[in-house]
Chains A and B, each alone.
Chain A
């Protein structure tokens, strides 16, 4: 890679991001969150780190981007170092009860009880706690689940920015109400990990557009206030190339109209608007590394595209 591109991609990103065990990826809906999570997983796996991409929304977006046709709540091998799992709370609950509750008696009773399932739906933060609890379990070495292999990196394809805080605050919400018992104890351990910058990193994906930038800046403030956690990196996704200088743009404004000229003017205008948003992001994100991923001009967004983004992310972050 040439040094200019490398410098642009680095954009002050330290080499530390993947020294963390848990990388939480979030962003406004529709900005390419799952794509970035899948690409990040591919990148860490390519560096020889045993990686699992975990997703929480039930659409298996990351799974299909990784080329899995059948994905589910079982940890599935994608390639030599890369695995995938979809976390659904029913499975997480069963597993939790089996592994964590001493003796066969309570677990068997609780999993069979409809009342208990209703209780799980109703208890504040319990569903989120089960989800983040499963993520935490994936990061443990040795694993708490019997016969399960540990991972070097867990990449969480997390919920959109609006729900991220609820997920990350779940342990505390729950502990503050339940006060005692094994779940509350474990909630405390989970929260400790989430707040430890040596173990957990938050990566936010944003397109260089007004709304996405606003949400990213708001999320940074909210995370810092609620959990004293800062962002580890912001991925600026779908950035148009700045191909034309302003002198060239003037020249394009003076020639006769034509579809190709219109395309060039469109790209120039769009890239300029994006630059204004990138500048806003830069001002609001002092100290947070940014990585820029290019807009991929392609009729279909396929695995090749994910691979290209993985390579760029790998070079910038790892």
Chain B
């Protein structure tokens, strides 16, 4: 067993997190593929909007449940799975609606909530709803399915830390404690709330207050359920069988964020199982300046072409040095294990074969 494989061996849940645009989705798919090829029953969950995983895996349509990945497609790429691989894309709105259906005390409350304009906006647009539903889905799969490992690709939040804080923020909002003073005033607060509400009506109109009152009244019965889910997820995230795999590129800003995120994981007692430095340019130990390289190549290539090659090499070596510096910085800040490096691929990820190659590289990287 190689480094990363060993670190994932005892994990039931693997969460891939990191800054935007570093290849998290592809890495999630490669990790899931690797675990499945080694014999495990694996589900990989990714987030809907860009249908990213479907493109990478060549799947046409993914429902809101994990679907088995077509094994003939993988076999065509030369990959025999000893285990099973299923994949799904999270449909945020549908997951939220299903949650309402499960948690509502009766069908009528559920129906009214689903039709409420405040809810319709909230379920897709409020900060944290995407992350909350991702985690709710994760906990559902852990509790109600027989997958041995679930790999979760995290939403493209601006900051990876948003992902960890999202459930708490959403619950805080749903509790609506602050608003309830305004909508259902009682006791001494009543007179003051009356004045505030009157002022509010002058500014925002009447309709809004009515809709909000209706929304929070309907939601009241479901709150315990939402809280219970959130607590359940917090516990799941803390378990030693849950590991965070941090993915970053060599760009300075991405590395800063990866280090910050790792610190937050440590601070909150969550488990890191590795850092993947993605899209690394290989460092050439025998690097010379452009002139020398061009002269060295001149015997083999047309002089004009040799010059262009030399210039290209020198430009890519700048990136290789940047990546090397990032590697040192990540190792220094995060300690063991050393980051796993993945080479920048010539043509990006094209198909299942590319994913397979990436997976092998990832397994060998440790």
A255-B300, A263-B313 known; A214 vs B318 contact (CB < 8 Å): no
> Is residue A304 contacting chain B, with contact meaning CB distance below 8 A?
no
A30-B21, A273-B348 known; A260 vs B293 contact (CB < 8 Å): yes
Whether A270 contacts B208 by the Cβ 8 Å rule is no
Closest CB in chain B relative to A270 CB, distance in Å: 6
* CB contact between A259 and one of B117, B286, B319 (< 8 Å): that residue: B286
Chain B residue contacts of A281, Cβ below 8 A: none
Whether B301 contacts A29 by the Cβ 8 Å rule is no
5 A-B pairs with CB atoms under 8 Å apart are A118-B182, A178-B204, A184-B205, A210-B55, A259-B313
Chain A residue contacts of B318, Cβ below 8 A: 297-299
* CB contact between B309 and one of A116, A260, A300 (< 8 Å): that residue: A260
Within residues 208 to 245 of chain A, which ones have a CB less than 8 A from any CB in chain B? 209-211, 214-215, 218, 243-244
A114-B181, A118-B182, A270-B348 known; A301 vs B200 contact (CB < 8 Å): no
The CA of A4 and the CA of B331, in the complex, are separated in Å by 45
A125-B121, A173-B121, A299-B321 known; A118 vs B312 contact (CB < 8 Å): no
Whether A178 contacts B312 by the Cβ 8 Å rule is no
> Is residue A46 contacting chain B, with contact meaning CB distance below 8 A?
no
Whether A59 contacts B158 by the Cβ 8 Å rule is yes
> Is residue A180 contacting chain B, with contact meaning CB distance below 8 A?
yes
A214 and chain B: residue at smallest CB distance: B50
Provide the A279-304 mask, 1 if CB < 8 A to any CB of B, else 0.
00000000000000000011111000
B121 and chain A: residue at smallest CB distance: A124
B72-80, B170-178, B266-274 - interface stretch? B170-178
Whether A179 contacts B284 by the Cβ 8 Å rule is no
> Is residue A110 contacting chain B, with contact meaning CB distance below 8 A?
yes
Within residues 11 to 31 of chain B, which ones have a CB less than 8 A from any CB in chain A? 19-22, 25
> Is residue A121 contacting chain B, with contact meaning CB distance below 8 A?
yes
B25 and chain A: residue at smallest CB distance: A211
The CA of A273 and the CA of B346, in the complex, are separated in Å by 8
Q: How large is the interface on A (under 10, 10 to 19, 20 to 34, 35 or more residues)?
A: 35 or more
A28-B21, A122-B179 known; A160 vs B156 contact (CB < 8 Å): yes
Whether A301 contacts B346 by the Cβ 8 Å rule is no
Extra 18 A-B pairs, beta carbons < 8 Å, given A178-B205, A299-B319:
A30-B19, A117-B178, A121-B173, A123-B208, A124-B118, A124-B120, A126-B204, A160-B156, A180-B206, A181-B204, A244-B305, A259-B286, A260-B297, A263-B317, A270-B346, A272-B347, A297-B318, A301-B253
Q: How large is the interface on B (under 10, 10 to 19, 20 to 34, 35 or more residues)?
A: 35 or more
A66-74, A101-109, A144-152 - interface stretch? A101-109
A29-B20, A116-B182 known; A243 vs B204 contact (CB < 8 Å): no
Within residues 282 to 312 of chain B, which ones have a CB less than 8 A from any CB in chain A? 282, 284, 286-287, 293, 296-297, 300-302, 305, 308-310, 312
The CA of A113 and the CA of B193, in the complex, are separated in Å by 9
B309 and chain A: residue at smallest CB distance: A264
* CB contact between B319 and one of A114, A262, A264, A297 (< 8 Å): that residue: A297
Shortest 3 CB-CB contacts between residues of A and residues of B: A30-B21, A118-B178, A29-B20
> Is residue A267 contacting chain B, with contact meaning CB distance below 8 A?
yes
> Is residue A166 contacting chain B, with contact meaning CB distance below 8 A?
yes
Closest CB in chain A relative to B30 CB, distance in Å: 15
Chain B residue contacts of A176, Cβ below 8 A: 117
Residues of B whose CB lies within 8 Å of any CB of A are 19-22, 25, 49-52, 55, 117-118, 120-122, 124-125, 156, 158-159, 173, 176-179, 181-182, 193, 195-196, 199-208, 211-212, 215-216, 251-254, 282, 284, 286-287, 293, 296-297, 300-302, 305, 308-310, 312-313, 315-319, 321-322, 325, 344, 346-348, 350
A266 and chain B: residue at smallest CB distance: B346
Chain B residue contacts of A118, Cβ below 8 A: 176-179, 181-182
A30-B22, A122-B176, A297-B316 known; A269 vs B347 contact (CB < 8 Å): yes
> Is residue A182 contacting chain B, with contact meaning CB distance below 8 A?
yes
* CB contact between A119 and one of B125, B182, B287, B312 (< 8 Å): that residue: B182
Closest CB in chain B relative to A163 CB, distance in Å: 8
* CB contact between B182 and one of A115, A160, A182, A207 (< 8 Å): that residue: A115
Whether A124 contacts B117 by the Cβ 8 Å rule is yes
Whether B252 contacts A180 by the Cβ 8 Å rule is no
A260-B309, A261-B309 known; A122 vs B118 contact (CB < 8 Å): yes
Chain B residue contacts of A156, Cβ below 8 A: none
The CA of A113 and the CA of B195, in the complex, are separated in Å by 10
> Is residue A57 contacting chain B, with contact meaning CB distance below 8 A?
yes
* CB contact between A263 and one of B300, B312, B348 (< 8 Å): that residue: B312
